Amino acid sequence: MTKNKSTMSLRGLLGIVMACCCTLGAAADLELVPVRVAPGVYVVYGDLKPASYGNDALTVNLGFVATSAGVVVIDSGPSYRVAQMLHRAIEKVSSYPIRYVINTGSDPARWLGNSYFKKLGVPLIAHEEARKLMEMRGADQLKAMQALLQEKAYGTEIALPRGFSSDMEEIRFSDSLLQLSYFGPSQSPGNIAVWLPRQDIAFAGAIMQSDTLLTLTPDSHIASWIAAYDSLAGLRPRQIVPGRGTLVELARLDADTRAYLVTLQAEIDQAVQRGATKAEIISQAEKSKKLTAFKRLAGYATLAPANVLQALREKDALR
């Protein structure tokens, strides 16, 4: 009886160990799930939380357009690993080769996966202004990503795209048409949207997002961002895939993106006109009913104070 109990205990322990190993193995894997937006058009949603080891720093939406002539990838992700998993996800819905990779901006989560696709010989494309920022800051972005992702950053290297300088670059092959549209600086110079006129769908990149508060950077220009937003909205796409957040109606994007930019700019302008000090402006922003209405968006507590400071810096730079 004692022997049977010991045998059962050993078997039970072995089962627990095997289960733990399987769990650890599953945690080490990364599976990206494409969501169909329209026939041949897919989005892979990024996490709304800040970049971390746990979410593989995938905090932006990736996308791809699959046709009988090949696949176009929209943003390559923050690492070689994520790009590789994106490719695997693509292969589940298309057996055709990847023809192009488009980077919609210089956010490291949008382009550090380029190194994977470069090894496959896939052409990389971005706006020239974004390419310049990648070249300027790529080494620091890569170093930060390696520190964050540790072993998950394996294979990740700087792979710069070809830059185009016009307001629009077209990609045509077979019966497919993608227009890479630059409406001016938004979150940063070189942020583009990918417009699919035949499907009436736009990938907005950093120009529009839903569900989470915008992040202003030292490169952001609020007035130009609003103008870029309006230009993209003026195309009246049937569907818009935001750079972050879920697929929503334009009215929701207006509420989550445009309204915040307009409100933040107005609050800062009015405070400066009143002669308020920086400390007073920050304090007033924390209490502003118009600004705190955006507390419903993810990341507000962390991003809102930093955005006020950045908006102030922009205002000072323009004076």
Task: Going residue by residue through the chain, which has 319 residues, state the pLDDT in tens, using 9 for 90 and above.
Answer: 444 444 333 333 333 333 333 323 333 578 899 999 999 999 999 999 999 999 999 999 999 999 989 999 999 999 999 999 999 999 999 999 999 999 999 999 999 999 999 999 999 999 999 999 999 999 999 999 999 999 999 999 999 999 999 999 999 987 889 999 999 999 999 999 999 999 999 999 999 999 999 999 999 999 999 999 999 999 999 999 999 999 999 999 999 999 999 999 999 999 989 888 889 998 999 899 999 999 999 999 999 999 999 999 998 765 5
Instruction: Give the structural domain span for 76.
Output: 30-248
Is residue 289, in this structure, part of any structural domain at all? Answer: no
The CB density around residue 79, as the number of other CB atoms within 10 Å, is 29
Residue type, position 109, single letter: A
Is residue 186, in this structure, part of any structural domain at all? Answer: yes
Average pLDDT, the chain: 91
Is residue 295, in this structure, part of any structural domain at all? Answer: no
Tally of structural domains, the chain: 1
Distance of CA 239 to the CA centre of its chain: 17
- Cα separation of 265 and 293, whole Å? 15
Helix axes 278-287, 300-318, angle to 10 degrees: 140
Is residue 62, in this structure, part of any structural domain at all? Answer: yes
Is residue 274, in this structure, part of any structural domain at all? Answer: no
- Cα separation of 304 and 200, whole Å? 33
| Secondary element (H or E) of residue 231 | helix 222-233
* Residues pairing with 201 in the sheet: 196, 239
> pLDDT, tens digit, for every residue of 167-181?
999 999 878 899 999
- Residue 34: is it exposed, middle or buried by C-beta count within 10 angstroms (0-12/13-18/19+)? buried
- Please provide the distance, in angstroms rounded to a whole number, between the alpha carbons at the two ends of the chain: 87
What is the model's pTM? 0.89
Distance of CA 278 to the CA centre of its chain: 31
- Cα separation of 212 and 218, whole Å? 19
Is residue 218, in this structure, part of any structural domain at all? Answer: yes
> pLDDT, tens digit, for every residue of 26-71?
335 788 999 999 999 999 999 999 999 999 999 999 999 999 899 9
- Cα separation of 201 and 38, whole Å? 9
- Cα separation of 311 and 307, whole Å? 6
* Residues pairing with 126 in the sheet: 163
Is residue 113, in this structure, part of any structural domain at all? Answer: yes
Is residue 205, in this structure, part of any structural domain at all? Answer: yes
* Residues pairing with 172 in the sheet: 177
Backbone angles phi, psi at 211, to 5 degrees: 75, -20
* Token duo for residue 115: 């190194």
- Cα separation of 191 and 189, whole Å? 6
- Cα separation of 63 and 143, whole Å? 25
User: What CATH number has the domain bearing residue 123?
Assistant: 3.60.15.10
